[in-house]
Amino acid sequence: MTRILVTNDDGIDAPGLRWLARAAARDGHDVVVAAPVTEASGSSAAMTAVEEHGKIILHRRELPHAKHIPAYAVAASPAYIVLLALREAFGEPPEMILSGINRGANAGAAVVHSGTVGATLTGSYAGLHGLAVSLDVLSPRVSTTRSGGAALAALDHEEDEKRHWGSAAELAVRLLPTLTHTPAGTIFNLNVPDLHLDGIRGLRRASLAQFGQVQVSIAEAGEGFVRTAVQAADDTLQPDTDLAALAEHFAVVTPIRPPHEMTEVKINLETIPLHASALQ
């Protein structure tokens, strides 16, 4: 039995969070949930928290249909929550981090901005295995290869309970034995189409695409302000990447790791002056 922290960046009330926590608990693991009070999407590995009188506020919560799983709503970013968990803020420290199930794919180079992935990166620095799980909720039924497996559309939160969170949760727990046999600190980034398991064509390993599923553009700029717009990326999909696999209705997993030193890069520091006199 593994002590697992389940967190996310969509907030404590997100349905994907409880689906993932319940699946891990059913698989026999010792699960604790700690997630942001409100949505923290795009927070990457930021260490942010809301304090009152020098204290980070957290509250015990009861997850629907998961009363047996201890859960906390925390006024902090996902990465900070992982740090708190490692310092025993929620009981025994975790041995593994599960993050998600995110409402929307975290694929391609955009993973650098993801709070879902950022939580697992923080655990990785402490030597913990991590699994970031995301559900591609952007209407796969009308997907095109130009939209990276999903058409960009307004997301109806009221429809969230009808999405296939169970598919992503089931694939996540099936990956755990494989994850635990990888080197310490390994992270798996799992993206799953919003389909029943029977409709998913399989599970593939793929590299990160050079772009994300969506892109930001400047819609309007004026005196003292800019207004942005989000639209589907129109880059051509690269074969054997995560976005290409999602476009073909495959679930896709990519092993990733935190930033590391590029030992292969050579720098001639002797030619760089250190003192002001050398610059005159």
Q: Is the pLDDT of residue 116 over 70?
A: yes
Q: Give yes or no for a contact between 17 and 25, defined as CB atoms under 8 angstroms apart.
A: no
Contacts of 222 (CB under 8 A, 6+ apart): none
Q: What predicted TM-score, i.e. pTM, was given to this entire model?
A: 0.84
Token digits of residue 84: 């708190």
The predicted-structure confidence for 57-106, as pLDDT tens digits, reads as follows 899 999 998 889 999 999 999 999 999 999 999 999 999 999 999 998 99
Token digits of residue 192: 């799953």
Label residue 155 exposed, middle or buried (CB < 10 Å: 0-12, 13-18, 19+). Answer: middle
Q: What is the pLDDT of residue 1?
A: 87
User: Mean of the pLDDT values across residues 113-134?
Assistant: 94
User: Mean of the pLDDT values across residues 205-219?
Assistant: 71
Q: CA distances (Å), 129 to each of 120, 141, 180, in order? A: 8, 33, 7
User: Ramachandran region of residue 65, left (φ > 0), alpha (ψ -120 to 50) or beta?
Assistant: left
> Alpha-carbon distance 15 to 277, whole Å?
62
Q: Is the pLDDT of residue 240 over 60?
A: yes
Residue in this structure with the two tokens 């700029």, named with its chain if needed: 221
Model confidence at 7, pLDDT cuts 50, 70, 90, reads: very high
Q: What b/e sequence results for 179-207 when a residue is b if at least 16 CB atoms lie within 10 Å of its CB, and e otherwise? A: beeeeebbbbbbbbbbbeeeebeeebebb
Coil, helix or strand at residue 280: coil
Q: Give yes or no for a contact between 103 and 158, defined as CB atoms under 8 angstroms apart.
A: no
Q: What is the pLDDT of residue 148?
A: 39
- CB neighbourhood size of 172 (10 A): 26
DSSP 9: S
For 267, list phi and psi in degrees, rounded to 5: -125, 125
Q: What is the pLDDT of residue 142?
A: 42
Q: What is the pLDDT of residue 225?
A: 75
Considering only CA atoms, which of 268, 266, 210 is closest in space to residue 239? 210
Label residue 106 exposed, middle or buried (CB < 10 Å: 0-12, 13-18, 19+). Answer: buried
> Alpha-carbon distance 247 to 264, whole Å?
35
Considering only CA atoms, which of 175, 182, 160 is closest in space to residue 17? 160
Quote the percentage of the chain above a pLDDT of 70: 79
Q: What is the pLDDT of residue 271?
A: 84
> Alpha-carbon distance 62 to 72, whole Å?
8
